[in-house]
Amino acid sequence: MKVDEMFPRRFATGADLNGRPVVVVLDKVQSEQMRTTGTAPELKHVLYVQGTKKGIVLSRTLAQQIAAATGEQDTDKWTGKRVTLYPEPMMVAGVPRIAIRARAANGEAAK
């Protein structure tokens, strides 16, 4: 059994994209309290897309990319908009990670 199957993650990561871009329809953004080991609870913003159960914790970079891709700065207006999510390998504190990034769906210009 794979470790990821034994301990499933609550939120999606870039690895969940299986190395390829995916066009998604945005559902909602909601604020959720999160705690990492040894820290006080912190309010984070989580993006949910239609047809999935796992949310995506928004970073400033990802939120700005989605705003640019949708043409909407107001997250309440993201519902129903299509974007392409894609994996981007990077180093975080010396550890290789795969981030989720966003761009306009299929080269569509923001409306």
Domain count, the chain: 1
What's the average pLDDT block by block, 10 residues per block, for the chain (111 residues)?
A: 84 93 97 86 95 95 97 97 96 93 78 49
SS3 39: coil
| Host domain of residue 48 | 3-107
% helix / strand / coil in the chain, to the nearest 5?
Answer: 25, 40, 35
pLDDT of residue 21: 96
From CA 108, how far away is CA 83, in angstroms rounded? 9
From CA 81, how far away is CA 12, in angstroms rounded? 19
